[in-house]
Amino acid sequence: MSCSSSSGSEEDDEGFDSYRKGGYHAVRVGDQFAGGRYIAQRKLGWGQFSTVWLAYDTNTSSYVALKIQKSAAQFVQAALHEIDVLSSIADGDPSNSKFVIQLIDHFKHTGPNGQHLCMVLEFLGDSLLRLIKYNRYKGLPLNKVREICKCILIGLDYLHSELGIIHADLKPENILLCSTIDLGKDPFRSGISPILERPEGNINGGFTSLIEKGLKRRARRAVAKISGRRTSMGGTGDVAKTGRNIDGIDVRCKIVDFGNACWADKQLTEEIQTRQYRAPEVILKAGYSFSVDMWSFACIAFELATGDMLFTPKGGQGFSEDEDHLALMMELLGKMPRKIATGGAQSKDFFDRHGDLRRIRRLKYWPLDKLLIDRYKFSVNDAREFSEFLLPLLDFAPEKRPTAGSCLQHPWLNCKESSPKEMKNESNVEKVEVGMSNLKVRVGK
């Protein structure tokens, strides 16, 4: 979880149970940190390891995101690692131009539950997941998708080629817009005066309404499950979703949350990446490098363009979630090469010696360009161009996936989206061509 203007968890509150020794620090609006330099304004979100607060920096008269880690030893160790990574990122990007979050400060804060490591990060806007939801899962216009992709690729190119860092958990929640969707929620632009002292009556602090908020969120989740808003490959969903006009939204964005990041030559664990954005080599435990981030990036690009996750595996009778995930990949991309299918430490759990899945035998192939046309009503041209951009990134062979730097040179990122008028003219030309091909000319004797 990082410095979003919206909740770190999109679905639930952190609950009271973790506010104990070794757990979260209970923050109240108006609380002071680092000798009074930072003053808590409101909670932005939370994660498994930390809570994040909007804070006012009295030294610079600006707003920042204050990330407060749980106090138990393992969380402190995780925070030290993240600070190490973020410090390298900041040192290599003094102009703050690489579309990666900037660390401003870090310090220790002692509270009733122990000593908490705190990180001060630049304040950013909403996550890409929040943008997808704001647009009612319809899928963003391709010109917006291109803008977002360029920012992510510039960030990944910097991390990979200049710093040797693998993000290892790239997903829409971990990419934040540089500004808020609702400008009224931007403390810089809203004109609201900062809170400089604790408001009266705020005895129980920033989590007094957790139960009430939790009940509301559970109700929303129940409604969401009933309506089945999110779909994935092979599922059923309402494609004729109505989106909002997002023309006025600034979609420049930055990569955030380096809690799972590592240096390529100093990897910490084999267990990386959030399920839906996980690369096949990670599932198979075949080793990984920078190319795992490129796989995740391709999944994100698809999700931005369609509103749906590319892969949402589910365990079933006789097969695991991992095996379903591999099956979904092959239904989209074709059969996995035998050498790759059988080359990982976990391969025997899923594949036989011929490279066929052990428990899922019947696959329904649906190529990406056809999926985009049939389900998402892309034009033939848009589907072809977008597929040509994505498919190399989804190569089962990690070493064949293009780098972030080479992706930045891809023609798709620099082409213009067809206007409705151009699409209509293109359609008319197709109709004329079809009509001409069916025309029979009778030649007189």
Q: Give CA–CA dist 255/234, Å, rounded.
A: 30
Cross-strand pairs, 106 = 119
Q: Which helix (H) or strand (E) holds 63?
A: strand 62-69
Per annotation, catalytic residue among 31, 57, 126, 169:
169
Q: Which helix (H) or strand (E) holds 129?
A: helix 128-134
* Residue 120: closest CA among 102, 101, 104: 104
* Residue 372: closest CA among 385, 360, 359: 385
Q: Give CA–CA dist 16/379, Å, rounded.
A: 50
Helix pair 291-306, 142-157: axis angle to 10 deg: 160
Residue 169 falls in the annotated catalytic set: yes
Rounded to 5°, the CA angle 337-343-346 comes to 115
Cβ neighbours of residue 20 closer than 8 Å, sequence gap 6 or more: 113
Residue 67 labeled ligand binder: yes
Extended strands (E) in 21-113 = 32-33, 38-46, 50-57, 62-69, 103-111
As annotated, the binding site includes 67
Catalytic residues: 169
Summarize the annotated binding site for ATP as residue ranges.
67
